[in-house]
Structure formats: C-alpha cells, structure tokens
C-alpha cells in the first residue's frame, strides 16, 4: 500500500474511540514508519464514540475524495430503547424521562416506521457538532444554554425494525448524508407517544464500501508497520 501517494482504508471503528482517535493513531504510525514529519490523513464521515463500524480513512492524494465519499448514502444497524429519553438522545447522558409503552402495538410501530421513509425534515440533537454562532452545539448544551436547532432535509431509502425484544427495537436504516440516527431514535419514540433512546449503533455501509471488507485498527497498524 502506498500511503504517501494515497490510499482509501476501511476501518471497523471500536466502541468509545472518536473518529479522530483513529485518524491520529494511523497518522502517528505512518509518520514513524515512513520517517516523515507529516502525511495527510483524514476520515470521510464522523462516527460518534458510542457507535462502531465503518470508518473510511483517506491518506495522501486520496484525501481529495473525502467530500464525495461523505455524500454517499450510509447504512446503519442498531437498537432503540422505547419508554425512556436522554438529553443527548443516546447513552452519552443519563436517562431523564420515562414514558408508557403499554399502548404500543405492532400496527402502530409499522405505521410509524413507514412515516420515516422518503424525504423529510429532521432536527439535529442539541448534543451534536453542529455549528451555532461559531460554537459546537454540544458545547452550548453542556453549558446549559438554550439552543434552537434548525431542521435539515434528509432522505431515508430503507428502514426496517424488529421488536422481538420489545421495548428494545432493533433496526436497519439506509439514509442520506447529514442524517442523525439519534434523532431517528428520539423521533421514533415521540411518534409512538412514548420516548426513544439510541442504545446501540453500527455503520455497515457507505456507498459501495462494506464493513465486511474493513480492517480492525490493530490489523491496519500491523499492515503499516510490517517490514
């Protein structure tokens, strides 16, 4: 692999790592192995620390491809817990409200599931990296500031659910760039007249790139440092 000229690498991001943790780990090892002071390394689409799965890393001239890769449709699998909410819409923050779930039927869930298909407006979580007046939304949220998030247009091409472990609902979703799966979980619960929290998330596809072809971080470091 010619990392200096340019490579596109598929990484299976581990739990609790930031996307930048992965970039920095790979960059540090490349600089040491190649004996260079700097090398371009970037990722094509952030994954939250609590998410795992496909993270696309570009090096060298391939960093010019990042914008087009980010525009690709993404596919995720995960789990929504119904009946509870958190301020961050996931497990980054503590549960703050509890809601009834006894009224939720299979028919109601199917009706709500269908409502997410196609083009729609989505309000991002306040605990997100969206820029507001030059600051990240999550910085303002953690400081206790009142934030008004603007809705974005998103597209959902596929959304399937499995409620065999109710009130946990497993799902798979394929969606456009800019979709917040945490907001999908929160809104799914709200449309059921209950609450919803994202408790697990894994990215499995980005465009034609598939998690099945990804390396673990350790596997990629071994390739970089191989004699």
- Using one digit for the tens of pLDDT, what is the confidence trace for 56-76? 999 999 999 999 999 999 999
pLDDT of residue 143: 72
Query: Is there a domain that residue 106 lies in?
Result: yes
Query: Is there a domain that residue 51 lies in?
Result: yes
pLDDT of residue 227: 59
Query: Is there a domain that residue 1 lies in?
Result: no
pLDDT of residue 130: 73
User: With a cut of 70, which residues of the chain have pLDDT below it?
Assistant: 128-129, 133, 140, 227
pLDDT of residue 51: 96
Domain that holds residue 34: 6-71+208-225
Looking at the structure, tell me whether residues 115 and 152 fall in a common domain. yes
Mind listing the pLDDT tens digit for each residue in 27-36?
Answer: 999 999 999 9
Looking at the structure, tell me whether residues 131 and 58 fall in a common domain. no
Distance of alpha carbon 129 from its chain centroid, rounded? 12
Sequence-separated (6 or more) residues with CB below 8 Å from residue 52? 12, 13, 14, 15, 201, 202, 203
Mind listing the pLDDT tens digit for each residue in 128-164?
Answer: 667 776 777 777 677 777 777 788 999 999 999 999 9
Query: Is there a domain that residue 165 lies in?
Result: yes
The fraction of the chain above a pLDDT of 90, given in percent, is 82
pLDDT of residue 142: 72
Looking at the structure, tell me whether residues 101 and 184 fall in a common domain. yes
Looking at the structure, tell me whether residues 14 and 36 fall in a common domain. yes
CATH number, domain containing residue 107: 3.30.2350.10
Would you name the residues annotated as active-site residues? 48
Number of domains in the chain: 2
Looking at the structure, tell me whether residues 113 and 195 fall in a common domain. yes
d(CA 105, CA 97): 21
Tokens of 153: 């247009």
pLDDT of residue 149: 76
pLDDT of residue 104: 98
């Amino acid at each position: 692999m010619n990392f200096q000229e340019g490579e596109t690498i598929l990484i299976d991001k581990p739990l609790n790592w930031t996307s930048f943790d992965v970039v920095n780990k790979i960059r540090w090892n490349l600089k040491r192995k190649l004996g260079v002071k700097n090398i371009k390394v970037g990722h094509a689409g952030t994954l939250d620390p609590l998410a795992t799965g496909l993270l696309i890393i570009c090096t060298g001239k391939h960093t010019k491809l990042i914008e087009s890769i980010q525009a690709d449709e993404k596919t995720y699998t995960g789990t929504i817990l119904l009946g509870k909410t958190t301020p961050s819409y996931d497990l980054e923050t503590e549960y703050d409200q509890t809601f009834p779930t006894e009224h939720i039927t299979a028919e109601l869930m199917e009706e709500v599931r269908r409502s997410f298909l196609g083009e729609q407006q989505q309000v991002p979580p306040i605990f997100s990296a969206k820029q507001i007046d030059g600051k990240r939304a999550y910085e303002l949220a953690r400081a206790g500031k009142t934030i008004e998030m603007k809705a974005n247009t998103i597209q959902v091409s596929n959304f399937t659910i499995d409620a065999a472990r109710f009130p946990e609902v497993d799902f798979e979703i394929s969606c456009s760039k800019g979709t917040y799966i945490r907001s999908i979980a929160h809104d799914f619960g709200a449309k059921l007249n209950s609450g919803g929290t994202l408790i697990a998330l894994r990215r499995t596809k980005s465009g034609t790139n598939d998690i099945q072809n990804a390396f673990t971080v350790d596997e990629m470091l071994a390739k970089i440092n191989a004699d």
